[in-house]
Chain A
Amino acid sequence: MSDLYRDLSDAVTAGNTETTKKLVNQALAERTGAQTVLERGLLPGMHVVGERFRSGEMFVPEVLFAARAMRAGMEILRPLLTETGGEATGTVVIGTVQGDHHSIGKNLVAMMLEGAGYRVVDLGIDVTPQTFVQAVSEHKPDIVAMSALLTTTMLRMAETVNALKDAGMRDCVKIMAGGAPVTDEFVKNIGGDGYASNAGAAVDKAKELLGR
């Protein structure tokens, strides 16, 4: 059994989705609880990924593949976990603000958050403050994440925060913002909650803001 967990965690680290699914099913068939499969198989695999990425041994596409394998495993476990109270980490609504078409950084942040177990609703690029407000009322996220690469469109971030205030939704969410010209100070000034300079740091910041 302990070999099975090691194989499972290796499969996650290697980003091998099919093997991960197979081993999760095998573990469940051996009457192991879903929580145990998660804690002894999937999570240790992702933990290794996190460490290797930080130490420069792993590349981003490899991390994303590992996250995909993790998600595939979670999909099998989730229905069983809800019974025992296992919840997704949180929901994030993300978008590049109005007037801005830079999508690469935003996509990366979205993928890394998904990899860390968040449910991500990606509104795309050129997202107006109204669209953010609508998405918040529809998806009830824990975090609103905005991206801007242009100095002109950074102003739309402040407008989005204000629109959320006007809609009475500001206090229901944490607000994160990033992109090349954005700074920590700027995010504080517009009344946001968190800034991160890259996708990895964005995940850490989300965890910090939500405490999970």
Chain B
Amino acid sequence: MNTGFRSQVVPEYRLLTENQIQEFHRAALEVNEKIGARINSEEGVELLKQHGCTVTEGNMVLIPNYLVEECLASAPSRIDIYNRKGEEAMHLEGRNIYFGLGTDLINSYDVYTGEMRPSLLKDAANASRVTDYCSHIDFVSSYALPHDVPTNTAYVESVKTMFENTVKPIFSTAAGLEDLKFIVEMAETVVGGADELRVKPCLIHYSEPTGPLVHSYGAVRKLFYCADKGLPITYAPGDLLGGSAPVTLAGGIVQALAEVQAGIVLHQLRRKGAPIISGWAVVPMDMRTCTLSYGAPEFRLTNSAYSDIFHWYGIPMWSTVGSDAHVFDEQASMEHAFTTLMAALDGANLIHDVGYMGQGLIGNPAMVVMCNEIISYVKRLMRGFEMNREMMAIEEIRKVGAGGTHLAEEYTMKYFKQELWDPALSNRDDIAVWKQKGSCTYSHKVVHKTMEILETHRPEELPGDVKDKLGAIAERADKELAGIHFVA
């Protein structure tokens, strides 16, 4: 990039050429026009019919190309997300990258005992507090599915806990529209009303179609509800290569893109311009074990593909990092490093599942702390460096001269902090000092840092009256949701 007198050198990566992007786009259009999408919602089907779609057998709705393209155009190209206090937190647009946790982990490690057990509400609280502390993590998610609260209020209780333990924006699922309404009410209460939440959303709802090609009644209901409310929603399919999608990467991409397009059509027809975030998880299925792999290289390729496609569409996108390791070990570190780097190079906007382990089934707050450092590393890398006459330092080279040293120079003083990354936990000690300090492994330092955060970090508290109101909403939710069946 060269803008006259100033130039910034940054790492750049694209996977698809413009021609390849267009070919994927047309292939997905063909799927929607010729094969269609199964919409298991009468209201959804009606809306599509009104706009010129044809309904064939088994609720397969054929969507004409022009309608998809109109809806892609009306979907906003930028979405601003705020924190609990109404301060700007994320500009989801262009190649801006933001990182945050994932939702609903069934198992959690206790950092003190080192044991894995079913997740508890305190795991969500701990993850929120750690996130609040970690300066490179931009948004929070439950990171746990608490087993110590009534099942039907697990999501409501998790969101309440997140609001209590961090100011950062919340990315959350819900079991159905029934509990989502309580979650939204909480967010409205925190920011001071429904209009306030619409203008300054601090909550993003996370929902999904059901691959292959199905949009469930529940998913359509949530799409419509969020469109009506103006609440940002991520609608991203999770398709398994060779399971719920063709095994070829290109085939998986076409199917997922068709599913995303159909979702955007439903959402934008309901209310033009409502905020929607795209993306998908087209994940390989391990053909020996049939488990899915978060850490796999193919997952990175399909992520890169949609990043290029959605940048071309001008629609903000979500992305995924994570690991298949069941314990905080070298594999967990390796996979988080690769996936984080790739998501950043993709220029994906809302990058979730930071700290995810065990193929989407295990959490560990120490992983989050390690990821904070990985993200810090990657952000430094992505910032690149400035390159101009001053930064190329010819004067400085002349001044210090042959055989001199730069350490105590003004120039060094002026620029070292901006130029050189300062890791928080990675070892940079020499061997003797490292031994003096106890020959600690990296994971040992990370676990101790995590304990320190949990023991000392105090997130900014919610105002007392707001806290009470959230308590009252949770109580009401507990009564009204008890024993109901969520409609999926």
Contacts and interface: CB of A to CB of B under 8 A. Distances in A.
A153 B486 CA distance: 9
Interface string A48-69: 0000000010011100000000
B216 A101 contact: yes
B243 A151 contact: no
Given A101-B216, A155-B151, A60 B288 contact: yes
B152 interface: yes
Interface in B156-198: 175
Given A61-B242, A99-B486, A181 B106 contact: yes
A100 B240 CA distance: 17
Contacts of B287: 59-61
A100 B288 contact: no
B488 A101 contact: yes
Nearest to A105: B290
A76 interface: no
A104 B240 contact: yes
Contacts of B154: 151-152
Contacts of B145: 151
Interface in A85-144: 98-101, 103-105, 108, 126
B289 interface: yes
Contacts of B242: 61
Nearest to B289: A198
A104 B239 CA distance: 10
Contacts of A155: 151
Nearest to A100: B488
Given A98-B485, A104-B243, A60 B151 contact: no
B147 interface: yes
A147 to B, nearest CB: 13
Contacts of B285: 104
A150 B145 CA distance: 10
A208 to B, nearest CB: 21
Nearest to B219: A101
A131 to B, nearest CB: 14
Interface residues of B, number: 24
Nearest to A150: B175
B41 interface: no
A108 B244 CA distance: 11
B151 A152 contact: yes
Contacts of B216: 101
Interface string B454-488: 00000000000000000000000000000001111
Nearest to B287: A59
A41 to B, nearest CB: 27
Most B Cβ at <10 Å: residue of A56, A60, A61, A154 = A60
A198 B288 CA distance: 11
Interface in A164-201: 180-181, 198-199
Contacts of B214: 101
Contacts of A105: 290
A126 B485 CA distance: 12
A99 B487 contact: yes
B333 interface: no
B485 A99 contact: yes
A65 to B, nearest CB: 12
B361 interface: yes
A48 B156 CA distance: 51
A59 B242 CA distance: 12
B324 to A, nearest CB: 14
B210 interface: yes
Given A99-B487, A99-B488, A104-B240, A152 B152 contact: yes
Given A59-B287, A99-B485, A199-B290, A151 B244 contact: no
Nearest to A98: B485
B259 to A, nearest CB: 13
B118 to A, nearest CB: 9
Given A152-B154, A198-B290, 8 more contacts: A60-B287, A99-B487, A101-B214, A101-B216, A103-B244, A150-B175, A151-B147, A152-B486
11 contacts: A60-B287, A61-B242, A101-B216, A105-B290, A151-B145, A151-B151, A154-B151, A156-B485, A180-B106, A181-B106, A199-B290
